[in-house]
Structure formats: C-alpha cells, structure tokens
Chain A
Amino acid sequence: MTTLLALAAGVLFTVGTYQLLGRDLLRIAFGIYLLFNGVNVLILAMGTVSGREAPFAQLPGPYVDPLVQAFALTAIVIGFGLATFLLLVAARLAATQVSLDAEAAREWHR
C-alpha cells in the first residue's frame, strides 16, 4: 500500500511539475493543483494506512494516525482555495489582455 501511495504521489508530482514549466496560465494553475494533491497523498502515506482500523473508539485497535487525516483535510481545503485563486487571477488576466499566454502578459506589461 505504501508503495502504491508513493507511486501515486510521484506521478502527481511529476505531472504537476511538468505542467508548471509551460507558458499557458491555466496549465500552471492546474499543475499547482496536481502538486497539492500529490502532497495530500504523501500526507496519507505518513499515517501507515494498511492493516489498521479507522480511529473509532468502538473498533479494536491498532488505529491509523487520526492527526494525519486532519492534516490532509486542512491541506485539501487550502490547496483547493489556492488553485481557485490562481484560476481567478488567470481569468482576469485573460479578460484584460485576451490571452492565456505568460509571454503575452509580459509584453502587455511594457
């Protein structure tokens, strides 16, 4: 299970980083969202998922680490909020200059 999570996190990081390197503003925003989801998987992997019970008092232990799941929840919300913000700025930029290209934004600046 840990190997699977590590692989998933690795794929998400790779694809996210690749998307960051382009010039398309939308792709950059989505790349960052993929990166955040890669971190979420990494957070879950910290909590030793396989072979443990959900942290309910009715179930017999040993439990997974509940703190890690609280992190993941917080990180999902923050990542989603930031991705939304980036998309919003990208949309505003596109509306003012009719392009989603980073180089075009630079020309417009001068």
Chain B
Amino acid sequence: MILPWLLVVPLGGVLVQLLAWSAPQLQARLALVTCTASLVLSASLTATGGAPPYAVSGWPVPVGIALQADPLSCLMLLLTGSVLTAAAAYQLGGPAHPSNPVYHLAFPLLLLALNGLFVTGDVFNFYVFFELVAVTSYLLVSQGAHHALEAAWKYSAQSVFGSVLLLVGVVLLYGIGGTLAFTDLAKALDGPAWPAAPFLLVAFLLKGALFPFHFWQPDAHAAATTAGSMILAGVMINVGLYGLYRFWPLIGGGELGRVVVAVGAASLVFGAAAAWTQGDAKRLLGFSSISQLGFPLVALGWGSVAALTAGLYFLIVHAVAKTLLFATTGLLADRVGSTRLRALLGAGSGRIGMATAYLLGVLSLAGLPPLAGLLAKIGLLHAAVAESKWWLASLILLGSLMTLGYGLRGFQLLFWLPPALREPWTVPRMVQVVIAGLGAVLVALTLAAGPVWRFCGQAALALYPQGGWP
C-alpha cells in the first residue's frame, strides 16, 4: 500500500508549503523533508520488490485509474528521490537563495509529478503527469540567472511542441488499441503501432535533449540555479529516456530501432565534440549530457535484454554523476558569480574534496576502471562484439575517450590552475554533505554493481518478457 503514498506525501508537502508562503527558509526546509520522505518510501517500495497494480479509490481498471510499480518504475523513483533530496538540501544550505516562494514550491510539485509519471499504469495519465513535470521544470529554469527568462522561453516553447506531439501519439495509440493501460495495450496491439511511433519518438527525444532536438538544454542548464541544474540533469532529461523505454514495447520495431541507434550515435559524437569547445562550465556539462544519453539510446535501439540492462545501468550512473558534477560546478559558480570558464579559472584550486568529487564524476562517466561507467560500457561492448557490430563498438570507445578529454579539460580549468587572488571561503556544511553523499552513491554503484545490475536486468526483462524486441 505504499503506492498511493508516493502521491499523497508530495501533495501534502505542497499544501503545507502553501501555508508557509511568506517564510522562504521554512519552505526550503519543508521541501527537503518532503523529498527525503519520498526517497524513504521509494526505497521501501524497491526493497519489497515493486507493487502490483493498485486501483485508485477501488474502481476496477477499465473504468478507474491504476497505479503500478515494476522494477523500472522503482529504479526511476529511487533516482528521483535521491536527486531531488540532494537538490533540496543544496537549495537549503547552499550559497544562493532565491526568495521567490514559487521557486520553493517547485520541489514538492515536481516530486508529485515525477512520482506520478513513474507509477502511472495508463498512457493518458502518463501524458498528464508528463505535462505537469514540464510546467514545473519551466518554473525551475525561469528563476535563475539574468538571462533565465530567455532560456525558459526557449525551453518551454520547444517542450510544449513536444507535448503536443506526445498527446497526438497517445491519442493515436488509444485509437489503434482501443484501451489505455500499458499492459492491455501491449496485448491489444498486434505488432508495433507505427502511426503513433514518430510522434512519441520526437516528443521523447525533445524531452531528453538528444542530438537534433537539443537546442534548449545547454541554455536551460546555464541559466537555471544550481539546484535547478542538478534536477534538470539528474531527472528531467532522463524522463525522455524513461518514456522511450516505457513505450518501446508498444511502438518499437526493426526500422525504428535503426533510426534510434543512428540518433544515439550522432548524439554521442556531436555532444562530446561540442562539449569540448564550450566556454561556459555549465554548458560544458549540458553538452556532455547530450553525448552521454546517447549510450542508453543506442542500447534501446539495439534491443537485446543484455544491452537494455547496460543502458539502464548507465542511465542511473550518468544521472548521479551529472548531479554531482553540477553540484560542485554550481557551488563554484555561485561563489564567483559567473558560470563562464574564464571567470572560474582555478576557482576550485586547493579544494581537495571538491576536486575529488569532480574527478570521480568525470571518470565514472568516462568509464575508467574500476568505476561504475566501465561496467555499463563493457556490457554494451560485449553486446556489440557478440553481434560483430564493430563500428558501434568503436563509436562507444570513441565517445568514452572524448568524455575523458572534455571532462579532464573542465577539471584542469576549474581545479588545477593556480588560484586567482580571492578571499578564503568555506564550503557550507550542508553542501559538503550533498557532495559527499552523491560521491558515496557513485562509489556504492561500483561496489554493489552486482545487485544493481541484476535489478536493471529485471527491469529490462519486465518490459520484454520474451528477451528483447524482435
């Protein structure tokens, strides 16, 4: 009976925060409490191995609304809880405090929308929660730096176009299958629903900011507050990938798989090349996300359960590592008052803890042994070599190498140059906890790779009981 509480707790958080409207500090505290409570709920849900479908207020499924939690939902719920808790803690203890009450309200609202998105059992509620996630994230982006409004416009206009496409896709799915529940739709459709496929594909690629649809993402990252960037990188862009993984059993098939592999590969190379040339510390990380999300996309286009497992594992590793990178970079940027690399040269020099955290994030993404990203990439390479797709294997290696290149460039500019003359400052206690906690999660993902990998495997197998799409 945990499932409904995943929605009730954030909703309660929203209401309580509305009462504390005029006290931003109290609101930030309440946001942290709500996010932590949701994280605990998600963890206990995962520990009990997911939940069977739950009919809301007792109405049976064809009439009522069902909530469900399979391993994939649990994985995303845990990720959401962790990232939002980290971001709320940073917001509470970090240096920058926007005093706009609406901004603090975004945390429980976003939690409500994301939890709903991951546990919903039917496609139309998926659309409604997707929209709620989108609107709340516009709120997060629009509250940042001086050019935030322009970035918010760019983001919202493109993302709203994506939601139009998602709605078309969902409605077409209903028109073809005649039902809304994911499980019933999979049975009702004979073969992939190809008319809905292009709409859903473009909608999710826009949300995930993959290569041809990435325009909004680096700007949104650079303009958002540090906590906002952490959420954008840790959860928001992964929502697009989650949608693709979730809808793929309904729309995926031979030719579309090849398209997705091509898009993923293009994303991989383009994002990495663009990240190398950035002059802004947060845009560098934003372009890096475009590149990194290419890996799970290629894995999806591949289709075997082994590749999907590696893709999901890498999705988790990337989300945690990128949240960590944005936390460290954002702290420096908040101190200096600029996100430009030129202003940040040597800003973190002598800060051993932060430098270690940044390096840990970069090396995890690049897949340096023995860190977490390595396992995902070995999984992908193994699948590539087994099917003797050599060009794909070399592309994955090239992507990893480029990750190492631009990641170390960022590390060198931020941490390895002689410090400019600045007054000494201390990292706030709460931010130390956030950075150490995210680093610990990354290390735990490496040390406990076996169980996590098996859980990702269960998630992939729950989507494709027959062992991969044909």
Contacts and interface: CB of A to CB of B under 8 A. Distances in A.
B152 interface: yes
A88 to B, nearest CB: 10
Interface in B129-184: 131, 135, 138, 142, 147, 149-150, 152-153, 156-157, 160-161, 163-164, 167-168, 171, 174-175, 180
A64 interface: no
B241 to A, nearest CB: 23
Given A39-B171, A71-B124, A89-B142, A32 B150 contact: no
B9 interface: no
Given A105-B150, A109-B150, A86 B167 contact: no
Given A105-B150, A105-B153, A85 B168 contact: no
Given A78-B128, A96-B149, A42 B160 contact: no
Interface residues of B, number: 23
Contacts of B168: 39, 42
Contacts of A108: 147, 150
B149 A39 contact: no
A105 B157 CA distance: 14
A71 B173 CA distance: 13
A74 interface: yes
Interface in A65-93: 67-68, 71, 74-75, 78, 81-82, 85-86, 89-90, 92-93
Nearest to A97: B150
Question: Helix, strand, loop or mixed for chain A's interface?
Answer: helix
Given A32-B164, A42-B171, A90 B138 contact: no
Contact of B156 (A67, A74, A86): A86
Nearest to B139: A85
Contacts of A39: 164, 167-168, 171
Interface string A30-50: 001001100100110010000
Contacts of B124: 71, 74
Interface of A: 20, 25, 28-29, 32, 35-36, 39, 42-43, 46, 67-68, 71, 74-75, 78, 81-82, 85-86, 89-90, 92-93, 96, 105-106, 108-109
25 contacts: A20-B161, A29-B157, A32-B160, A32-B161, A35-B161, A35-B164, A39-B164, A42-B168, A42-B171, A46-B171, A46-B175, A68-B174, A78-B128, A78-B131, A78-B163, A81-B135, A82-B131, A85-B135, A85-B156, A86-B157, A86-B160, A90-B153, A92-B149, A93-B153, A96-B149
Interface of B: 124, 128, 131, 135, 138, 142, 147, 149-150, 152-153, 156-157, 160-161, 163-164, 167-168, 171, 174-175, 180
A-B pairs, top 7 by smallest CB distance, nearest first, are A46-B175, A109-B147, A35-B164, A105-B150, A89-B153, A39-B167, A109-B150
